[in-house]
Amino acid sequence: MESLYAQIGHWEPGTKEKLWQRWLWECDCNAPPLDRCFDMNEMHCLGILACLGELLTEPVLPQYELAIPPELMPEVIHLHPEQPIATFSLRETLDQIECLQLHWGPMLTESGAARSLEVLRALMARLGHIAHHAFPAEGAVLDDPQHITALPDRAGWAVVSRKSLRQAICVLFSLLRVHYIVSSATPVAVASPEEISDIIEAMRQHHIESSQDVFSVLQQMVYLAPGQRLAYRTLFSGMYNSCSQVCARPSTHTMRLHHDGECWRRKS
């Protein structure tokens, strides 16, 4: 990883694709932190490299440097329709990533898998730019104190905090996996909407002890947006067992943990 970082902007053809393959499918996203990377594991480090790769390898996506056309994103998902992603502040970048996280299903359905991926890659490039540089702590870029870390050797300057960067990488990692599954899936015949609604309602009324792991995981897949379970596990790696302990009831999924980015109810 050190050699890839040293050669950013000068990668050989095919390096970017190999990095993405290793990041999304070949590393353990739940692995303990690496000794040299404080509280980040290999997945987080590769994700940061992937973001830098989107920024520093040609060609740069048009969605990064230009305002995204309204037809590329449903209105409810586009928080800054007149503003190029290249000018987003840290808060705007994280808010837009969170908005995609909460509406990733409608985004894939309404905008299509290819366009959704372009927007996500543009946000990765912006996150990579912000993570790659230091900025004035009270400036226009680092505009949210809860997501920054002051530099001890440069008064008044700061960088993105490892906690916030780690959390954003967890979300991007999960959104990209969902994107791959959706874009490569083969449609099959399904029951009528009325039958599906009856099944969902029956599942909601049926309670099984959270110690039964399979049911607990299925519950989390239904009620949590992509990336929330992984981000929770990363944030509380020393005490993790199951997100259902935190959000066991559907009516309480809008959690106080919102500011830690872990458990809030997915809008369907």
Q: What is the pLDDT along the chain (268 residues), one digit of tens a residue?
A: 778 888 887 888 888 899 999 999 999 888 888 777 778 889 999 999 999 999 887 777 778 888 887 777 777 788 888 889 999 999 999 999 999 998 898 888 888 888 889 999 999 999 999 999 999 998 899 999 999 999 988 889 999 999 999 999 999 999 999 999 888 887 666 677 777 777 777 766 665 554 566 666 666 666 777 877 777 777 766 655 555 444 443 333 333 333 333 333 333 3
Residues 193 and 181 in one domain: no
| Total number of domains constituting the chain | 2
Angle at the Cα of 5 (from 170 to 36), degrees rounded to 5? 65
Provide the 8-state DSSP code for 69: P
The DSSP bridge partners found for residue 159 are 149
Instruction: Encode 76-110: b = buried (16+ Cβ within 10 Å), e = exposed.
Output: ebbebeeebbbebbbebbbebbbbbbbbbebbbeb
Residues 173 and 193 in one domain: no
Residues 56 and 179 in one domain: yes
Domain edge (last residue) among 121, 152, 185: 185
Residues 92 and 125 in one domain: yes
Residues 155 and 211 in one domain: no
Residues 47 and 96 in one domain: yes
Provide the 8-state DSSP code for 265: B
Residues 40 and 94 in one domain: yes
**Residue 136 is part of which domain span?**
2-185
Residues 116 and 39 in one domain: yes
Domain edge (last residue) among 185, 216, 238: 185
Domain edge (last residue) among 155, 185, 215: 185
